[in-house]
């Protein structure tokens, strides 16, 4: 792939995401000329001074005015107002690449500025930034979702590659589905991890966050290798499943127990489909999972 020409960059958004992406663009050889905050977006002038030290802090319109590449990295709910502000005040110009992090709004966010003849590309880093110098290295090699019109895909992917990350293209009409899938993963993990943390803490296990971190990292590593990690308890027979349900009912109550049952049913179905669990084993486990919880708790 041809390297894009060196670009003059303006960054609006002085929070963690804006400063990491600004630094990555700077390290790729582009010139970050100005940075600007927007509506108290987590502005961190310390990060700006550390990662883009040669870029003065100005207002958004000034940051945008001379930029070949304009990066808009503010919280999703504040992005529409920023776009409107730039339109009203002449912040956009024809041919300008507008890289924004508004994955929630997707490409449709830029419908209101079609007349400006800009080139909008949406990017969504999937790594979590914590606000220190390790963020830049954490970003390298991490996946970044890219969504834009098909004709702009080479531009968006080239910029992400230049920043050292790995682009994954999402067609504009699939953004809602991808967003829902990511929300499902995050919400499910938050609920499961919270429940597991509560249970492990009650047993007196030391360093619970570290223990759970290792378990989750093992799952993630196996997924990256295309492997299916062995399940603890879930595929070890109906008696183990029943015992787990009793403990979950005591510690987490009926709601937590039902969440586990739903997850177990999905796991069992997947294991049978992949040949990791015989049909007979499936029937025994599903029998336990379908029993009234009071019956399972009394065994």
Listed in sequence order, the DSSP H helices in the chain are 16-27, 45-51, 60-65, 79-88, 134-139, 153-162, 175-203, 208-224, 238-273, 279-290, 293-297
CA-atom Rg of the chain in angstroms: 24
Query: 35 pLDDT exceeds 60?
Result: yes
Spatial distance between the Cα atoms of 224 and 10, rounded to a whole number of angstroms = 35
* Gap between the Cα atoms of 291 and 297, Å rounded: 10
Report residue 270's pLDDT band, with 50, 70 and 90 as the boundaries.
confident
Q: Is the per-residue pLDDT at 254 higher than 90?
A: no
pLDDT score of 233 more than 60? no
Domain residue spans in the chain?
8-170, 177-297
Q: Which architecture characterizes domain 8-170 according to CATH?
A: 3-Layer(aba) Sandwich (3.40)
Higher-scoring residue by pLDDT: 64, 133: 64
pTM above 0.85, yes or no: no
What average pLDDT score do residues 51-61 get? 84
pLDDT (tens digit per residue) in 118-160: 899 999 999 988 878 788 899 999 999 999 989 999 999 999 9
Q: Dihedral through CA 180, CA 186, CA 189, CA 195, nearest 10?
A: -110
């Amino acid at each position: 792939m041809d390297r894009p020409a060196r670009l003059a960059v303006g960054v609006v958004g002085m929070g963690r995401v804006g400063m990491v992406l600004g630094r990555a663009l700077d390290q790729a050889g582009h010139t970050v000329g100005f940075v600007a905050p927007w509506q108290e977006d987590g502005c961190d002038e310390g990060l700006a001074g550390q990662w883009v030290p040669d870029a003065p802090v100005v207002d958004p319109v000034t940051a945008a005015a001379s930029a070949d590449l304009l990066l808009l990295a503010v919280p999703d709910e504040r992005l529409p107002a920023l776009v409107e502000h730039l339109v009203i005040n002449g912040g956009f110009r024809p041919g300008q690449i507008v890289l924004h992090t508004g994955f929630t709004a997707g490409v449709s966010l830029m419908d209101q500025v079609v007349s400006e003849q800009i080139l909008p590309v949406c990017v969504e880093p999937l790594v979590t930034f914590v606000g220190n110098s390790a963020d830049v290295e954490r970003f390298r090699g991490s996946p970044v979702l890219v969504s834009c019109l098909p004709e702009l895909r080479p531009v968006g992917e080239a910029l992400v590659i230049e920043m050292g990350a790995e682009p994954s293209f999402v067609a504009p009409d699939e953004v809602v589905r991808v967003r829902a899938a990511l929300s499902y993963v995050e919400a499910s993990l938050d609920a499961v991890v919270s429940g597991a943390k509560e249970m492990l803490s009650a047993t007196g296990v030391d360093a619970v966050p570290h223990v759970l971190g290792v378990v989750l990292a093992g799952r993630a590593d196996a997924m990256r290798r295309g492997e299916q990690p062995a399940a603890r308890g879930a595929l070890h027979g109906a008696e183990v499943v029943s015992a787990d349900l009793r403990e979950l009912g005591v510690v987490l109550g009926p709601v937590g127990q039902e969440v586990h049952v739903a997850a177990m049913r999905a796991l069992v179905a997947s294991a049978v489909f992949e040949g990791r669990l015989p049909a007979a084993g499936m029937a025994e486990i599903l029998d336990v999972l379908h029993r009234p919880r009071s019956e399972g708790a009394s065994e």
